[in-house]
C-alpha cells in the first residue's frame, strides 16, 4: 500500500489530466497522477502523435506529440508523483479518505480524486474486409506513429471522420498518391477540413467501401473497393491502407465505482462534482448534467481547472475556490 495520503489523485494523464496536475501544483496540492498507459499524453499520444491540432488556444497549429511534450513540462514542474502502466480498478472510501486499488495490487490513498480518463479503454474498429486481418502490420494500419512511413507510398485511407480527413491532408505532400474512400457522401469531419480535402490532390471516392485486401504475403499490394450503390468494383494498386473508422470505448471498472453513469460519461454538476463526495471529473469522460457536451481539449482544460480549484476548497476549507490569477500567485 502507498502510505502517503495525497491531496488529489488524478486518474488519467491525457491533456485534461496533465493540465489538472499543473493547476494542482499551482495550488500547492500534494498531487499524484495514475495512468494505465506507459507514457503520458493519453489518446493524443497514442492515436495521432504526428497529426497537427488546430484548436488549442495559443497555438496556430501544433503537432500532437509537441503538445504532449509541453503539457508534461508544464505539469511536472511541481514534481507530482507519477504512476504509469497501472490501471485503477477500484475506488472506495476508507476511514475518511479515498482508496484507489490498481491492477498491480497497489493501493493509493487520496483526499480527493479527479477522473480524467478520456473515453476509458479504447480500441480501433477493425476493417471487415477479406484479407485485412492478414495484413495488419504489413501495410494495414490503424495508428500513425511516424507519418514518414508513408513517404512516396500509394496510400488508401478509409473513413469519413476527422481522423481520416486530417491524415489525408497531413500526409498528402509526402505520399506519392492518396485515395480516400468513404461509404457515404456526408463527412463527420470539420467543414473547413472537408472543403480543403475536396480541393486537394487527394482522390476521394464517395459511396465506396473496401471489399478485399491482398498482397504478396509480406506486404499489401492491392485493394478491391466497390460502389455500394451499384456494386461496381475497382482494383487499386496500393502500398498501405490507413483505417480510420472509429473506436470502441469501454469505461471498464469505472462502471463499478458507484458513480452516476450516463452512457459512457460520468455525470457531474457545474462544479465538476460527481455523486461521490471528493470525486470530480473532467475531459471527454465528463457528462455535465446541465451543460453542453463538447469533447475538445480546450473544454477539458477548463473543466480540469474548475475541478482542481473546487477540490482544493474541499480538501482545505480555509482556501478559496478562486485563488486569483496565476500572475498574482506565489510560485
Q: How far is the C-alpha of 309 from the C-alpha of 322, rounded, in Å?
A: 7
Q: Which residues contact 178 (CB under 8 A, 6 or more apart)?
A: 155, 156, 157, 168, 171, 172, 201, 202, 203
Higher-pLDDT residue of 144 and 83 is 83
pLDDT class for 100, splitting at 50, 70, 90? Answer: very high
Q: How far is CA 290 from CA 92, 158, 270, in A?
A: 26, 36, 7
Could you read off the pLDDT of 252-264 as tens digits, one per residue?
899 999 999 998 8
Strand order in the sheet with 177-182: 140-141, 240-243, 154-158, 177-182, 203-206
Q: Fold match between 5-122+248-328 and 126-245? A: yes
**Domain 126-245 of CATH type 3.50.50.60:** yes
Task: Please give the CATH number for the structural domain made up of 5-122+248-328.
Answer: 3.50.50.60
Higher-pLDDT residue of 294 and 20 is 20
- What average pLDDT is seen over the chain? 92
| pLDDT at site 1 | 44
pLDDT class for 145, splitting at 50, 70, 90? Answer: confident
In this prediction, residues 222-240 reach a mean pLDDT of: 98
Could you read off the pLDDT of 179-221 as tens digits, one per residue?
999 999 999 988 999 999 999 999 999 999 999 999 999 999 9
| pLDDT at site 330 | 58
Domain ranges of the chain: 5-122+248-328, 126-245
What pTM was computed for the model?
Answer: 0.77
Amino acid at each position: 500500500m502507498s502510505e502517503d495520503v495525497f491531496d488529489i489523485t488524478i486518474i488519467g494523464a491525457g491533456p485534461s489530466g496533465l493540465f489538472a496536475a499543473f493547476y494542482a501544483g499551482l495550488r500547492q496540492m500534494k498531487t499524484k497522477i495514475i495512468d494505465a498507459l506507459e507514457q503520458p499524453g493519453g489518446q493524443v499520444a497514442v492515436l495521432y502523435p504526428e497529426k497537427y491540432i488546430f484548436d488549442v488556444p495559443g497555438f496556430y497549429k501544433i503537432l500532437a506529440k509537441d503538445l504532449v511534450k509541453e503539457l508534461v513540462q508544464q505539469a511536472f514542474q511541481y514534481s507530482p508523483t507519477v504512476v504509469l502502466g497501472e490501471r485503477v480498478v477500484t475506488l472506495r472510501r476508507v476511514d475518511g479518505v479515498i482508496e484507489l486499488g490498481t491492477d498491480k495490487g497497489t493501493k493509493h490513498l487520496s483526499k480527493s480524486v479527479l477522473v480524467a480518463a478520456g473515453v476509458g479503454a479504447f480500441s480501433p474498429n477493425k476493417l471487415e474486409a477479406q484479407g485485412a486481418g492478414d495484413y495488419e502490420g504489413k501495410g494495414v494500419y490503424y495508428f500513425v506513429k511516424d507519418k514518414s512511413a508513408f513517404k512516396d507510398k500509394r496510400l488508401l485511407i478509409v473513413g469519413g471522420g476527422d481522423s481520416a480527413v486530417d491524415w489525408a491532408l497531413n500526409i498528402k505532400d509526402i505520399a506519392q498518391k492518396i485515395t480516400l474512400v468513404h461509404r457515404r457522401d456526408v463527412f463527420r469531419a470539420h467543414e473547413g477540413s472537408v472543403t480543403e480535402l475536396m480541393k486537394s490532390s487527394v482522390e476521394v471516392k464517395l459511396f465506396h467501401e473496401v471489399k478485399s485486401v491482398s498482397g504478396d504475403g509480406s506486404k499489401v499490394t492491392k485493394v478491391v473497393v466497390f460502389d455500394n450503390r451499384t456494386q461496381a468494383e475497382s482494383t487499386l494498386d496500393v502500398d498501405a491502407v490507413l483505417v480510420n473508422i472509429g473506436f470502441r470505448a469501454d469505461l471498464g471498472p469505472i462502471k463499478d465505482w458507484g458513480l452516476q453513469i450516463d452512457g459512457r460519461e460520468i455525470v457531474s454538476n457545474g462544479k465538476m462534482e460527481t455523486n461521490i463526495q471528493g470525486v470530480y471529473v473532467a475531459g471527454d469522460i465528463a457528462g455535465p448534467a446541465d451543460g453542453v457536451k463538447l469533447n475538445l481539449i480546450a473544454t477539458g482544460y477548463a473543466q480540469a481547472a474548475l475541478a482542481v480549484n473546487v477540490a482544493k476548497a474541499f480538501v482545505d476549507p480555509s482556501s478559496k475556490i478562486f485563488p486569483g490569477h496565476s500572475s498574482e500567485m506565489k510560485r
